[in-house]
């Protein structure tokens, strides 16, 4: 069958069926001079690489996971937000929704991410600083007050304590009158990249993997629309990896989760369709587009070949965040341009949702004005640039296709090496991905310091600047307020019930029962995050990083 015949078959098949189910944004897409913009462009019949490309929505998904992509619906526009108290963050979420944001993305403070209550000694000075402080169900109720959780998609950047925060979210939704099977969203829940690059782990790897597979199992039955993990290359790239390493280590993490879940007895197609990924959008526009395309194609092949997974399980669906590590404190308005380039890379690469960083994030938490500009950047690309009017518009570019092939090939070689080391968990224990990232980060920084790599406004084109003004700062009074809330909760709740529920969490942690129902019961009794995690630490212990020299 010739490419033109395949094109016609796709147009009348998958594409037409998708339009019937999800109508396009417009009746007709046109260029500025009036010509029709086709849904997808294909090379001539003699193109040798066509089988690598396929059509959008078809294996190997190089050109996207949906036949219509943005012609039917734009990506979900999220802004990562959360700071101080639940009350303050709730106001920011409502502001962003009023400005046209289409999904929430919650940032939690470091104590919440690691599982310490705000009154713990380890929390001192960190409460509410890099995200919102959540100690109990009461805080979560406040965080989403007036926001109907059954009608909004919520992404939560939480890993070691994802089981507890998801339970709190479910409990709040139920209080609002929504059933768990109505909820739509994502928990990051990717603990392996914490050991590799980020550091907000609490438990050792083995029990952490058990908790994750418990979440897979629970959600497949009770919260079927929820994305149970967002396998994150974002933080791997922020730690200094290059594009190939970001793809390779992220997909290797994904393979480890799939393998662990299958070993517990879960059929691959019961949980894999709800896996999602989280990538970084860096400055090199065309390389980044190729990176996203290569990741999609390689994941499809790996899932098909290794696990005999079905088409939905082969689809690599991903969220993107623009690169925080590229933002500069010098001339911060330049960051608006960087974020615009990175936004284009994500959209041209076929992302399913996107968060754009704000211009002042190298200095402080973003102001409302900065957040609005960041959101407007997405909206301008969506509504004014035209890049969303056809699917995979850079397909067929000699450079982009060559780069896609090269990234796929080099990432596959990394995954082969990780397999030889015994898989990703064993590779992490040996320090392999950590060392590779450190070496790449060192090379990148040397290039900047030698001016081989130019960062505008930092190592070239500098100007004399005044100290920044009107930065958003979190006051220490936030910690005092959170501690008062904890004391109030403990005096108001049924503490005998809390003790019984915590004992059930501990028993499940030491046994084989799924932890999620027990954690959900404890949350509903207003046990605090720190209390629930403390019971699990009592069984599992705490992870201590070993330095490999």
Q: Give me the average pLDDT of each 10-residue run along the chain (549 residues).
A: 88 93 89 83 67 89 96 90 88 91 90 97 93 96 96 94 98 97 95 94 95 96 95 96 97 97 95 95 96 98 98 97 97 97 98 96 90 96 97 92 93 98 94 95 95 95 90 83 96 98 98 97 98 98 74
Per-residue pLDDT, 327: 98
Q: What confidence score (pLDDT) does residue 211 get?
A: 97
> Burial of 548 by CB count in 10 Å (0-12 exposed, 13-18 middle, 19+ buried)?
exposed
Specify the pLDDT at position 58. 95
Alpha-carbon torsion, ordered 232, 236, 237, 242, to 10 deg: -120
Distance CA 441, CA 434 (A): 11
For 108, which DSSP code? B
Instruction: State residue 30's pLDDT score.
Output: 84
CA distance 274 to 217: 11
Separation between Cα atoms, residue 194 and residue 185, nearest integer Å: 21
What's the whole-model pTM score? 0.90
Nearest to 352 by CA among 185, 125, 138, 535: 185
CA distance 13 to 6: 10
Place of tokens 């890099």: 130
Q: Is the separation of the CB atoms in 46 and 395 below 8 Å? A: no
Q: Whole-angstrom Cα distance, residue 366 to residue 541?
A: 37
The reported pLDDT for the residue numbered 549 is: 45
Tokens encoding 95: 């502001």
Contact in structure between 297 and 404 (CB atoms under 8 Å): yes
- Predicted confidence at residue 47, as pLDDT, reads 59
pLDDT of residue 51: 72
Consecutive H or E run containing 319? strand 318-322
Describe the chain by its helix, strand, coil percentages, rounded to 5. Answer: 55, 10, 35
Query: What is the structure's pLDDT at 260?
Result: 94
CATH code of domain 50-71+144-449: 3.20.20.240
Q: Tokens 């308005």: give the residue.
A: 333
Which stretches does DSSP call E strand in 8-99? 76-81
CB atoms within 10 A of CB 341: 17
SS3 per residue for 357-416: CCCCCCCCECCHHHHHHHHHHHHHHHHHCCCCCCECCCCCCHHHHHHHHHHHHHHHHHHH
- Write out 267-312 in H/E/C secondary structure: CHHHHHHHEEEEEEECCCHHHHHHHHHHHHHHHHHHHHHHHCCCHH
Domain boundaries, the chain: 50-71+144-449
């Amino acid at each position: 069958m010739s490419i033109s015949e395949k094109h016609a078959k796709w147009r009348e098949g998958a594409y037409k069926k998708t339009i019937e189910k999800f109508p396009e944004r417009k009746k007709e897409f046109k260029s500025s001079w009036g010509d029709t913009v086709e849904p997808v462009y294909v090379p001539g019949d003699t193109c040798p690489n066509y089988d690598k490309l396929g059509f959008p929505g078809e294996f190997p998904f190089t050109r996207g996971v949906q036949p219509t992509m943005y012609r039917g619906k734009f990506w979900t526009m999220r802004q990562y937000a959360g700071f101080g108290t639940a009350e303050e963050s709730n106001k920011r979420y409502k502001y962003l929704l009023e400005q046209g944001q289409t999904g929430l993305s919650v940032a939690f403070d470091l104590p919440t991410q690691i599982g310490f209550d705000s009154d713990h000694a380890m929390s001192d000075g960190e409460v509410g600083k890099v995200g919102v402080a959540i100690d109990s169900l009461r805080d979560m109720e406040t965080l989403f007050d007036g926001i109907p959780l059954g009608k909004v998609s919520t992404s939560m950047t939480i890993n070691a304590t994802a089981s507890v925060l998801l339970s709190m979210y479910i409990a709040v939704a139920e209080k609002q009158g929504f059933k768990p099977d109505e909820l739509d969203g994502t928990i990051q829940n990717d603990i392996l990249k914490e050991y590799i690059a980020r550091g907000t782990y609490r438990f050792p790897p083995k029990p952490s993997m058990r908790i994750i597979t418990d979440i897979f199992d629970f959600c497949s039955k009770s919260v079927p629309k929820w994305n149970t993990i967002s396998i994150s290359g974002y933080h791997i790239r922020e730690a200094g990896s290059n594009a190939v390493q970001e793809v390779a280590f992220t997909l290797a993490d994904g393979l480890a989760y799939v393998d662990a879940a299958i070993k517990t007895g879960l059929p691959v197609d019961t949980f894999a369709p709800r896996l999602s990924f989280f990538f970084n959008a860096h400055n090199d526009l065309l390389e980044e587009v190729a990176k996203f395309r290569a990741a999609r194609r390689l994941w499809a092949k790996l899932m098909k070949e290794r696990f005999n997974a079905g088409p939905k399980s082969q689809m690599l669906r991903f969220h993107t965040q623009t690169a925080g590590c590229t933002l500069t404190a010098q001339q911060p308005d330049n960051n608006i341009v960087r974020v615009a380039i990175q936004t284009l890379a994500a959209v041209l690469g076929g992302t399913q949702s996107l968060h754009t960083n704000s211009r002042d994030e190298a200095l402080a938490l973003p102001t409302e004005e900065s957040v609005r500009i960041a959101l407007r950047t997405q909206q301008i690309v969506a509504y004014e640039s035209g890049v969303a009017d056809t699917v995979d518009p850079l397909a067929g570019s000699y450079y982009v296709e060559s780069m896609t092939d090269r990234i796929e090939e080099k990432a596959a070689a990394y995954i082969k090496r990780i397999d030889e080391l015994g898989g990703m968990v064993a590779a992490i224990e040996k320090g392999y991905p950590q060392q590779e990232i450190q070496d790449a980060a060192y090379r990148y920084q040397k290039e900047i310091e030698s001016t081989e790599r130019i960062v505008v406004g930092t190592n070239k084109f500098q100007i004399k600047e005044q100290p920044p003004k009107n930065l958003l700062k979190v006051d220490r009074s936030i910690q005092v307020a959170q501690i008062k809330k904890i004391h109030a909760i403990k005096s108001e709740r049924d503490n005998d019930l809390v003790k019984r529920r915590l004992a059930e969490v501990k028993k499940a942690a030491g046994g084989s029962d799924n932890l999620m129902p027990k954690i959900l019961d404890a949350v509903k009794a207003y046990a605090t995050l720190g209390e629930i995690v403390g019971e699990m630490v009592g069984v599992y212990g705490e992870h201590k990083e070993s330095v490999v020299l």
